[in-house]
Structure 1
Amino acid sequence: MPPKPKDAKKPSPPVNRPAISDSSLVYVPEDAVEGFEERIETGIDWTLLEAGARHHREIGKREDLPTVTFSKALETKINNSILYGFLDKHSGLTLEQNWEFLLPVTLWDNEKFATEEGKVCFHNANCVTDDLVKLIKRTVKAGNRKVLRHDFKMLHTLRVNDSQMTDLDEGLLGFKELISLNLCGNYLNTIDTSLIPPSLRSLELQANRIKQVEDFAEGLPADLVYLGLARNFFTSETILGLSRLPYKLTVLDLSDNDIYHLEPVLEAVSLLPYLTALSLAGNPCAYSSGYARTTLMKLVRLQWLDYREVLPTDRPMEPIDTHPDDLRSTYFNFVVYRVMAAPQPPKAEKGAATTFHVELEIPLLDVVRRRFLMFRRNESLIDMLPPPEDDEWGSAAGPPPPPPPVIDSKAVMGEESEVGSNIFDHMEYKNTREIHNFTTFESNRVQWSKLMNFQEPLVRIFCPDLSAVRDTFRSAITCRLIYSVTYAPTKPGRNDRKSSHVLRMPGEMRVVIATMKCSLKAVDWSQPYQHFHWDDSLGTENAIHWGEGDLSVLQYSQTPVKAPKGKTDGAEAGSRQTTPDNLTCHFGIGIETLKVA
């Protein structure tokens, strides 16, 4: 038998994949109702960062923006900073007076009395360059404002960010020794490279409204090593000029754009011989199952991907064929690691089954709703069917009870509320005739226990629309812990024809034990899950993002746990802990990355 060639590719393991067609992706037919895409996003609870980014993006789409040149934006930036008093020749204070009195008071007030928001605004107004105080001190020592004007033109670092700038002008060429330029958070749509100092090595253009790369790729400074283009208007069709970027470019940031197809990007950037760091996080292509594997195989010199260092174990040992569907789809996974200290329900009636389960509401991943709104003008998919004419619904069980009062999550344990201790008395019938938007996904159902575990993954959703997945991770989704009592139909026996449980119609009653809001973050290809913690002592529905901590390794016991000798009672990763007394939920949300070790 002949030996296998060394460069033979390892065949991909067989994977059961749902069929993907163009219509199941982001294809929009010609007869779709205008504006349906905006109505899909109606009512979505965006994260604070995404809400701000969308507000800036909507302003950037306007055609009537007032013209603000670089020189005008820089002047406004300086006027709002501590530099203004030292540059203004008409100031009533001398340089020494500004240095000895005004500047210390301004810095003291900001340090001691400003709120966190005030400190952020102060830093943003005074980030024109590095170490402003040192620059000012040299001017005061010389006793001449001209020194500050001269030194300002000799800066190596300049930041004119968040200044509503729309155009560059010749004022930028006056900075002949500039190495790093930050123009983030403006409204630039074109880059005139003839106005950029040739000495530049770092150019940050994040959060502007640039659409085309090829318009300025070849004219950038030859020694440029860093280029930031995050949160602009780039798509798969407008990045064709990436291969013509400067030869020495080392770091390229294309995160949070609308690049859907991965392969054209990799083909272009593979021609940049010194590229060692690339960021595509926040683009739809970065949410595909084969994203990391394909990128690391294609770009063998890459040392950083999406702000994460590439380790030797991250690359496949042998070349592996990537299925085309792995680059245009993924799976959304939701895992509940444990639910602890849920209130114990009362003993159920004879013939009734009591269970707990988790519901997950994800409106942006609903393909049925998207297709519905594509051809209809209805603002919602909630539809209540009319009751039957024979009034059979509810005849035996009696009319459905009135809606229960709103129950605060803090009242679940019943210590400070009259309603909390009787939460199971406020159950309501589940109307089987009601359609809930096709956006609610349910877990398996388990019996009550002080420590409840669910199957993994609890919810697994196939997602052929990568844009919807990306937008989902920019929103806050809702999880609910629900207790339900299900009444099954039974045949009356000879001695229990008048028993109350026989007369009850089959159906389900339920009550929401806890509602949790999860503000998601951009997916990290090296971390398949984002972990969240919630307990009713927080006093809010918002769950805590656990950072890079792994809640799945924690272990709990319903019996008292003795601390090992020589160790404290503190919780350590992987150590057993006593089940908490407060209602607590630990869960994880992520996508299937198909990461190859």
Structure 2
Amino acid sequence: MTFKNLRSPNSEIMEISEDFVKLFRQNKFNKMQWSKEETPIKDSRKYREEMYSKYILRFSNALLLALRKSVFGCYLNSLNPQQNQDTDLNENKLAITEYIIRNLKEKEVKRFQEKNYLFEDTMKVLRKIIKYNGSVDLEYLMRNMRTLRITDFYVTHMDESVKSFLDLQFLILAGNNLRDLPGEFLPKNLIFLELYDNFMENFEHFVKKAPKTILHLGFSRNNLDDNSSYHLLAGSNNFLKLSSLDLSENDIYNLRSVLAELRGMMGLRALQLEGNPCYVVPNYKSTVLKYFPKLVYLDNIEIMQEDRQVENDKQVEAAEPQIVFLCYRIMGLQHPPKDAKNNQTIHIEFNLPLLETVHTEKVAAEKSFNIPDKSEKESQTPKKEKLQKVKESGSGTNKSSKKSKISKQKSPYERSNEYDPDFEENSFSFKTARMPWNAVIEFPPVFIESPEHDLRAIRDTFRSRVEVRVVYLKTTHASKSKPKKEKQSAKSKPASNIQKNVQVEDSEETILKKITLYRFNCDLKNIGWSDETIDYHWADHPQIGMDAIRMDGCLKNITYGKSMKTKKTEPITAGELRNSQEIVQPIPKIFTCQVGFGLKRI
């Protein structure tokens, strides 16, 4: 296996082992900055993995613990053996309970709701039991409850106690530590089973003696992969009524092989596969519809008639998955200092660490797997430059801080030079095209391929937090010695375009100054197959902070201009972005950047 260093075209190509690539990738994976949505999920799963090896918690014990923490804890006979329960006693206790609930503060109400999430409308259930049954006992709950939720409770093993809920139809066991769930333990009337965020790996024991009434199965965010025996689901007679299957956020890589195993489940009307590595392939939608032409919903998005047009297999198989970065526009930039001798441009830089190529130079192979990041870059900055940055940020006396803020607003281009040739050579940043300053600067899209065509790397990128930087460059070109040219008469034709291009190539660029004007973060998420991009809006405003705002719609529908008759000055709403073909806005007075991240699909 060989990989070419894309940054050094003339560097030596060498063979490296797959172990080298895996270690290099793992190192980059460990340094990923996950989005605010992904971070708590990963932290929770890691903690529960550690807890699993220490404790065993069966469903029956978890149920009693959950009941004890809920409002039922002071009513159940089995938990209060010292009380002789009757209707009068429980009615008095109920009056006290309702009085306490009415006087709960906002934070206490939220905590109360979290502890009483077991049944649908817990207080209504409690009132009904006391009115018609007098005393509250576990047997009554097991005979009458139709919904049961045991979530985020570290349950490691199921047992037959769940079958005691004779009329149970909805069972939610999300956020537990289940690695296996024998189907024989499930209630016979079950129609909805949700196992989100567990550790299920296959369906071998689940399909045996499972109830035949199930309509929905949810296995999102488990440990399922290509070898999880999906054919057992399709081949079992117990799931003939199944109409909804959720396999999202797992590690399914080979889309066609998994769909082929599930093909026998022709009753499916809703299928979820988003968040799997196979979800990013260009022909995702057409391939799924080829195997399941009667689907009504794919990844919770309704399939319209035009979506059912299946593309030619030869065309889609030749395409490689690509991430698309779009900087629709930046506005509100102050004009850089005029200097006719130097070239002054603006571009955008952003980091997608898992998509960077493996360095194959001998020097890189001998070194440890260290990936430069902004903390390393900052550590290389001289102390004088750091002090200058502190002064510019507004520290010190009130007068100096005001002056520094004013000077910063007037001339952000006068900040310290950040250009470091060694750092730039090893930088992992992607860059847009350089554009000259203008009132509204629009950039062409950047198409990014995973160097090893790793679908997991692309999938994980859409779970990450990406830092976007607006960079100002001042450069100059020093022409190299050129061959002598024949003299041209006044009537002779000017030099051709080819000659002009040669002259540009003969000139050597020197970077005089590099300044990061602005930086902000974009928390990525899975992009729907019906969407082109996930769009973000950021402005240099204290209310926005460092995190860009995710927009529900397409920012390319907005047009900015000064003298538009139909210009709109009110804030843009998500509904307007979705429904309008074009929205006209005045050019912002403060710096504003609008970007999008998408997948190139057919």
What TM-score results when the alignment is normalised by the length of structure 1? 0.80
Q: 1:563 to 1:290 in 2, by over 3 A?
A: closer
**Other structure's SS at 1:271 match:** coil
**What is the CA distance between 1:489 and its match in structure 2?**
2.1
**What is the CA distance between 1:31 and its match in structure 2?**
4.6
**Other structure's SS at 2:126 match:** helix
1:524 aligns with 2:528: yes
Q: 1:281 aligns with which of 274, 287, 301?
A: 274
Q: 1:107 to 1:592 in 2, by over 3 A?
A: farther
- For the 8 Å contact 2:148–2:170, the answer to whether it is kept is yes
**What is the CA distance between 1:119 and its match in structure 2?**
5.6
- Counterpart of 2:551? 546
Report the structure, 1 or 2, having the larger helix content.
Answer: 2
The C-alpha deviation readout for 1:204-246, integer Å capped at 9, x for no partner, is: 1111111112332243211211111111111111234332351
**Other structure's SS at 1:428 match:** coil
- Counterpart of 1:40? 28
**Other structure's SS at 1:97 match:** helix
**Other structure's SS at 1:95 match:** helix
**What is the CA distance between 1:320 and its match in structure 2?**
4.7
**What is the CA distance between 1:174 and its match in structure 2?**
0.7
- Counterpart of 1:239? 229
Equivalences for 1:51-130 in 2 at 5 Å?
51-62=39-50, 64-87=53-76, 88-89=79-80, 94-106=89-101, 108-109=103-104, 112-114=105-107, 121-130=111-120
Cα distance in 1 for partners of 2:110, 2:363 equals 41
The C-alpha deviation readout for 1:357-406, integer Å capped at 9, x for no partner, is: 111111111122599999666242449xxxxxxxxxxxxxxx99845516
**Other structure's SS at 1:57 match:** helix
**Other structure's SS at 2:75 match:** helix
- Counterpart of 1:172? 162
Cα distance in 2 for partners of 1:164, 1:569 equals 49
Does 510-519 or 144-153 show the bigger shift? 144-153
Cα distance in 2 for partners of 1:271, 1:152 equals 35
1:331 aligns with 2:336: no
Q: 1:356 aligns with which of 346, 352, 355?
A: 346
Q: 1:208 to 1:365 in 2, by over 3 A?
A: same
**What is the CA distance between 1:541 and its match in structure 2?**
1.4
2:348 aligned partner, one-letter code: V
Does 258-267 or 573-582 show the bigger shift? 573-582
Cα distance in 1 for partners of 2:516, 2:586 equals 26
Cα distance in 1 for partners of 2:63, 2:564 equals 63
- Counterpart of 1:24? none
- Counterpart of 1:213? 203
Cα distance in 2 for partners of 1:54, 1:481 equals 30
1:153 aligns with 2:143: yes
- Counterpart of 2:397? none
- Counterpart of 1:21? none
- For the 8 Å contact 1:179–1:201, the answer to whether it is kept is yes
**Other structure's SS at 1:139 match:** helix
Q: 1:477 aligns with which of 441, 445, 466?
A: 466
**What is the CA distance between 1:593 and its match in structure 2?**
2.0
**Other structure's SS at 1:48 match:** coil
- For the 8 Å contact 1:283–1:470, the answer to whether it is kept is yes
Cα distance in 2 for partners of 1:208, 1:534 equals 36
1:432 aligns with 2:421: yes
The C-alpha deviation readout for 1:265-312, integer Å capped at 9, x for no partner, is: 111221012111110110000011111111112210111111111111
- Counterpart of 1:199? 189
- For the 8 Å contact 1:344–1:448, the answer to whether it is kept is yes
**Other structure's SS at 1:358 match:** strand
**What is the CA distance between 1:428 and its match in structure 2?**
0.6
Q: 1:421 aligns with which of 410, 415, 423?
A: 410
**What is the CA distance between 1:144 and its match in structure 2?**
2.0
**Other structure's SS at 1:134 match:** helix
1:347 aligned partner, one-letter code: K
Q: 1:569 to 1:79 in 2, by over 3 A?
A: closer
- Counterpart of 1:260? 253
Cα distance in 2 for partners of 1:569, 1:586 equals 18
Does 301-310 or 146-155 show the bigger shift? 146-155
- Counterpart of 2:12? none
**What is the CA distance between 1:61 and its match in structure 2?**
4.1
Equivalences for 1:179-578 in 2 at 5 Å?
179-240=169-230, 241-245=232-236, 246-316=239-309, 320-321=313-314, 323-326=316-319, 329-348=320-339, 350-368=340-358, 378-382=368-372, 402=385, 404-405=388-389, 416-428=405-417, 430-435=419-424, 437-455=426-444, 457-462=445-450, 464-489=453-478, 506-537=510-541, 538-547=543-552, 549-557=553-561, 559-563=562-566, 573=580, 574-578=582-586
Q: Give ranges in structure 1 of 5+ residues lacking alignment.
A: 1-17, 19-27, 384-398, 493-504
**What is the CA distance between 1:58 and its match in structure 2?**
2.5
- For the 8 Å contact 2:249–2:274, the answer to whether it is kept is yes
Cα distance in 2 for partners of 1:541, 1:224 equals 46
Q: 1:82 to 1:415 in 2, by over 3 A?
A: farther
- For the 8 Å contact 2:332–2:439, the answer to whether it is kept is yes
**Other structure's SS at 2:456 match:** helix
- For the 8 Å contact 1:441–1:459, the answer to whether it is kept is no
- For the 8 Å contact 2:226–2:251, the answer to whether it is kept is yes
**What is the CA distance between 1:442 and its match in structure 2?**
0.9
- For the 8 Å contact 1:213–1:242, the answer to whether it is kept is yes
- For the 8 Å contact 1:155–1:175, the answer to whether it is kept is yes
**Other structure's SS at 2:438 match:** coil
Cα distance in 2 for partners of 1:312, 1:563 equals 35
Q: 1:217 to 1:373 in 2, by over 3 A?
A: farther
1:581 aligns with 2:574: no
**What is the CA distance between 1:331 and its match in structure 2?**
0.7
Cα distance in 2 for partners of 1:414, 1:461 equals 46
1:77 aligned partner, one-letter code: A
Cα distance in 2 for partners of 1:44, 1:172 equals 40
- For the 8 Å contact 1:203–1:228, the answer to whether it is kept is yes
Cα distance in 1 for partners of 2:169, 2:96 equals 33
- For the 8 Å contact 2:142–2:164, the answer to whether it is kept is no
What TM-score results when the alignment is normalised by the length of structure 2? 0.80
- Counterpart of 1:591? 599
**What is the CA distance between 1:561 and its match in structure 2?**
3.9
Cα distance in 2 for partners of 1:435, 1:260 equals 34
**What is the CA distance between 1:113 and its match in structure 2?**
2.3
2:213 aligned partner, one-letter code: D
Report the identity percentage.
26
Cα distance in 2 for partners of 1:132, 1:521 equals 34
Cα distance in 1 for partners of 2:125, 2:181 equals 30
Cα distance in 1 for partners of 2:154, 2:184 equals 21
- For the 8 Å contact 2:48–2:154, the answer to whether it is kept is no
**Other structure's SS at 1:368 match:** coil
- For the 8 Å contact 1:429–1:508, the answer to whether it is kept is no
Cα distance in 1 for partners of 2:326, 2:478 equals 33
1:519 aligned partner, one-letter code: D
- For the 8 Å contact 2:356–2:450, the answer to whether it is kept is no
2:38 aligned partner, one-letter code: E
**What is the CA distance between 1:419 and its match in structure 2?**
3.6
**What is the CA distance between 1:487 and its match in structure 2?**
2.1
What is the number of residues matched between the two proteins? 529
Q: Give ranges in structure 2 of 5+ residues lacking alignment.
A: 1-5, 7-15, 374-381, 395-399, 482-508
